[in-house]
Amino acid sequence: MATLAVLTSGGDSPGMNAALRAMVKVAASRGVRVLGVQDGYDGLIDGVTRDLTVSAPHAPGGLAACRDVDVLGNEGGTLLGSARCARFRETEHRAVAADRLRALDGLVVIGGNGSLTGAHLLASECATPIVGIPASIDNDIGCTATALGVDTALNTILECCDRIGDTARSHRRAFVVEVMGRHSGYLAMASAVAAGADGVLLREQGRTEDQLVDAVAEMIRRSFALDRDRRRVLIVKAEGVEVPCTRLVRRVEEKLAGGMNVEIRATVLGHLVRGGRPTYQDRMIAGRLGLAAVDAALAGLTDRMMAWMPPVGGGTPTSDPAVFHFGLDAVLRETDALLDGTSPVTKWRLKTLESLESALGL
């Protein structure tokens, strides 16, 4: 009987469990056993696994998904647990992991940039097929239009901004809302447009602290202009903007002191953005990427990542017209380019934002 292993690694994201469920059900229908590796690469090194398939004599493949996979597929987080494994950077520990994979027919890694980097290293050091599924709420992985968790995170941010807007309008207040995204401002950019925010602050804009203070002060002045009946101002800030949210608000208050009678509040959403049940889109994409990953691993493909509607060329098509696969080396290069601003995708995002920025506060 063929056996696949699967692990979730790095930051959790809604949709990981949905991908696990899809993989396990597809594999079970083909008579393929699936082992879940506990706590990411730590579990792979230590050999800590659990069966995700159970015997089902009347099922087509003689196997079925275990109860936890079936029940928790709709939940956020990851039923396998996740971790960032410093040991995996060392050759000796990857050698232990590679040795454990010899008895298996494939490994699927679900995670973000660091997790896929680990998969790429491991794929070069062992013969077992290794494929990846992108999962990162920050949408900072190259060669894929989205990753698992992005849509759910955006919906969570929008709900929070809508609630903040309710109380802001009641008291004629301005709010600076910080969302996750250390290296990528995608969540801030996309949620600001969708929430009808008056401004957005990104690391990629390259503003100094003084420039940020000036920009926020001007956004508030403009939006609360005397000839307008505005009662709330909403500014979305990415976590990657290094000035702490409370410090930024304090400095803006000092700059506006005496000139405007307005209260400004800071709200940091933090890990609230990571949690919650995945949306339809995240569940649907998880299922389709999970199916493609099983197909790829069983076909013997290795050092590849499944991608959803890639915004760049060079991918290999699959049986699903929306899913392609790319070599992990190409994925990691494009990821670096996304984060350092040299990718055409990042340039397009910033150019689009610049064209919209003057309209946000209208």
138 annotated active-site: yes
Catalytic pick among 12, 42, 138, 282: 138
**Pairing, β 263-268 against β 173-179:** parallel
Per DSSP (E only), the strands in 182-321 are: 199-201, 232-238, 263-268, 304-308, 316-317
Catalytic residues: 138
